[in-house]
Structure 1
Amino acid sequence: MSKTIIELEKKLLHYIGKGIADFNMIRHQDRVMVCLSGGKDSFTMLHLLLLLKKRAYIDFDLFVFTLDQAQPGWDDRALRVWLDETKIPYEILTRDTYSIVKEKIPEGQTYCSLCSRLRRGIIYRYAAEKGFNKIALGHHRDDLIRTLLMSILYNGEIRSMPPKLLSDDKKHVIIRPLVYCQEADIAAFAQKMAFPIIPCNLCGSQENLARVRMKKLIDELSKENPKIPSNILHALGAIKPSQLMDTHYWDFRDLEKQQMIETLEQVG
């Protein structure tokens, strides 16, 4: 590997290791199902997890799961060769969610919501059937901050993609090891490693997605202040309920009572 690749790999390893440690993502004897979509993010995540497994003081299993959604042009031959050479156990499962999405969603509207819902259901069922207790997804730092802005601007909620999540049915723990990794570093690394990327012809072909608009907005703001992306990420872990308006997390109604208690404690 060239010096540039080595430097990128070292940087990405540092951040994926930090993410795993900060949120206790992987524990001894975990069985981790790595979701490999065929994109740059999941390829990079898998590569880094394989390196960490060799160096880790704990023992955990990695298994690769790829979902073939029967999209036109899908060709996983190079992917299979790569996985065989990597010598990691894997399965590529074919389920035609593409036809369902095309049938249900009118032309011009975004496919992401239904597509991800169908994909998530298949992933959860497979993990349960095979006995995996962790599911690793390839979302990175920039996915988290774009999702936060989308939630605020389009849904009126302060929420994003958590680094570690217990599914609604309490049966699955989802981890996102790349939470601290920048998309630019991932893209550069994936290109230099020449991973056999499989393009998404469904959501990837819809240029007017809100997520694309968020990317452009953040990129534009970052020209004035390069710290903006990292500041937004930091904000996700620096919530101050007393400075917001959610009465579920801060008792505004009895604030005066709290003031009196604190005053009496100081006097006493």
Structure 2
Amino acid sequence: MQLSHTLLRLKKRLESQVGKAIADYQMIADGDTVLVCVSGGKDSYTLLSVLMALRERAPVKFRLVAMNLDQKQPGFPAEVLPDYLTKMGVEHRIVEQDTYTVVKSKIPEGKTTCSLCSRLRRGIIYRIAKEVGATKIALGHHRDDIVHTLFLNLFFAGQLKAMPPKLVTDDGSHVVIRPLAYCSESDIARFARGMAYPIIPCNLCGSQGNLQRQKIREMMADWDQRYPGRTEVVFSALQKIVPSHLADQSLFDFKGLRPGHPLSAMDGGDSVFDPPALGQTWSQPGALALQVVKG
């Protein structure tokens, strides 16, 4: 496929961002087998494409195994992904398991099925990872997903918690990685359109989407439109945590704080609230915060 100059530049940017995320979090090491979960959506297609490109010139050797779970949803085009993965020449596993019927039998009509479906899917992925000898499981979550999850947990669960770029699975057997952590959803969508991936709709199950997540998406889209770059700024904040200026006693010894306590241990004193710093560094976010309070 002959790529346009614009698409080539976008491809290089995505590959650079993924390469940096992999290096920053040591996501992939020499000899790893990476199970890449491919759903048929824009994110997982992009993830697989970028990892295949990086593998060709990476300083370490690693194996890629693409996996798709056919959950037997009505209307699912079962031939699309096997045909695509074969054409790409990538090692792959197509797993057929009727989780759709299980979920529909357990969840009352009209209720969202996403939570149970996700748990069942996760268990199957872990099993396949063991079968193929995978040391890493790669998921297609991007920067926007990570930021949206932060606000979901903040507003609805009372936690400062997002999606980490790298974590250990619930059973302790595998490491999950999110190589698209530095990539924006808009870039991924443009790339997927340019590459003409055979996209499979994500709503074949007929379930309502996660309404809370959709509200967060709308909120962030509104903020980014009025104050461009807000999603990027919030993601950057996730990489610059200051425990002494939050309130978690397990992360900072507030009880032991006394006059003369080294300011280096606190990332400074209360200067963060001084008007010059606030005005110079956070002029737009400050205006945004004011707008949120008013709105």
Whether TM exceeds 0.5 here: the answer is: yes
User: Would you say the 8 A contact 1:139–1:178 is kept in 2?
Assistant: yes
How far apart are the structure 2 equivalents of 1:166 and 1:208? Answer: 25
Displacement of 1:221 after TM fit? 0.9
- Percent identity between matched residues is 49
Pair 1:66–1:262, CA change in 2 (3 A): closer
Alpha-carbon distance in structure 2 between the residues aligned to 1:20 and 1:3: 26
> Within 2, Cα distance between the matches of 1:106 and 1:163?
34
Counterpart CA distance in 1 for 2:169 and 2:262 is 40
Distance 1:15 1:115 in 2: 31
Q: Paired residue for 2:46?
A: 44
Matches within 5 A, 1:2-41: 2-41=4-43
Out of 106, 114, 117, the position equivalent to 1:115 is: 117
Distance 1:204 1:239 in 2: 39
- Specify the alignment match of 2:145 in structure 1: 143
Say if 1:69 and 1:95, in contact at 8 Å, map to a contact too: yes
Distance 1:17 1:39 in 2: 21
Aligned counterpart, 2:284: none
Q: CA deviation at 1:16?
A: 0.7
The letter for the 2-side match of 1:62 is L
Q: Secondary structure at the match of 1:255?
A: coil
SS of the residue 2:56 aligns to: helix
CA-to-partner distance for each residue in 1:75-109, whole Å, 9 max, x for gaps?
A: 13132221111111111101111112222223333
SS in structure 2 of the partner of residue 92 of structure 1? strand
Tell me the distance in 1 between the aligned counterparts of 2:249 and 2:57.
46
Alignment RMSD = 1.6
Gaps of 5+ in 1: 264-268
Partner of 1:266: none
| Separation in 2, partners of 1:14, 1:154 | 34
- Specify the SS of the correspondent of 1:165: strand
Give the partner amino acid of 1:97: T
Where does residue 233 of structure 1 map in the other structure? 235
| Aligned residue type for 1:61 | R
**3-state SS, counterpart of residue 55 of structure 1:** coil
Q: Partner residue of 1:192?
A: 194
Cα–Cα, structure 1 residues 213 and 73, in superposed 2: closer, same or farther, change >3 Å? same
- CA distance in 2 between counterparts of 1:43 and 1:162 reads 21
- Residue aligned with 1:8, SS: helix
Match of 1:83 in 2: 85
Structure 2 segments unaligned to the other structure (5+ residues): 264-295
2:97 maps to which residue?
95
Cα displacement (A) at 1:207? 4.7
Moved over 4 A (4+): 202-205, 260-263
TM-score w.r.t. the length of structure 2 is 0.84
How much has 1:110 moved relative to structure 2?
2.4
Which of the residues 128, 137, 161 maps onto 1:159? 161
- CA deviation map 1:40-92 (0-9, x unaligned): 10000000000001111111100111101111111131322211111111111
Alignment coverage as a number of residue pairs: 261
1:64 match: secondary structure:
strand
Partner residue, 2:131: 129
Q: Deviations over 1:184-206 (max 9, x none)?
A: 11111111111111112257752
Tell me whether 74-83 or 25-34 shows the greater mean CA deviation.
74-83
Deviations 1:229-266 (A, max 9, x none): 0111011111111111111111112212xx35659xxx
Query: Structure 1's 51 and 262: CA in aligned 2 closer, same or farther, altered over 3 A?
Result: closer
Q: Is the 8 A contact 2:66 2:92 kept in 1?
A: yes
Larger RCO (CA within 8 A; separation ≥ 6)? 1
**Structure 1: which amino acid aligns with 2:64?**
L
Q: How does 1:188-267 map to 2 (within 5 A)?
A: 188-202=190-204, 206-207=208-209, 209-256=211-258, 259=259, 262=262
Look up the equivalent residue of 1:9 and give its one-letter code.
K
* Residues 172, 250 of structure 1: alpha-carbon distance in 2 compared, 3 angstrom cutoff: same
Give the counterpart letter for 1:250 in structure 2. F
Q: Relative to structure 1, is the Cα distance of residues 203 and 153 closer, same or farther in structure 2, using a 3 angstrom cutoff? A: farther
- Aligned pair in 2 of structure 1 residues 207, 132: CA closer, same or farther (>3 Å)? closer
